[in-house]
Amino acid sequence: MKLHSKVVLITGSAANIGKAIALQFASQGAKIVVNAKNNVRAGEAVVQEIHNGGADAIFVQADVSDPKQVNNLFAKTIARYGTVDILINNAGAVDSVPVLESNKDHWLKVFDANLFSSVLCSIEAAKIMQTKGGGRIINNASIRGLPHGGRTGIMAYSAAKAAVINFTKTLAKELAPKILVNAVAPGFTLTSAYDDVPEALKTEFINSTLLKKWITPDEIADAFLYLASAEAITGEVLVVDAGATV
Q: Annotated catalytic sites, by residue? A: 157
Plot region of 94 (φ>0 → left; ψ -120 to 50 → alpha; else → beta): beta
CA gap 215, 191 in Å, rounded: 9
What value, to the nearest 5°, has the Cα angle with vertex 116 and ends 94 and 75? 115
Let me know: does 48 contact 22? Beta carbons within 8 Å: no
How far apart (Å, rounded) are the C-alpha atoms in residues 138 and 177? Answer: 15
Residue 233, classed as helix, strand or coil, is coil
Amino acid at 28: Q
| Amino acid letter for position 75 | A
- Residue pair 203/177 in contact by the 8 Å Cβ criterion: no
Side chain identity at 197, as an amino acid letter?
V
Cβ atoms of 8 and 31 closer than 8 Å? yes
Q: Are 138 and 172 in contact (CB under 8 A)?
A: no
Cis peptide before 217 (omega within 30 of 0): no
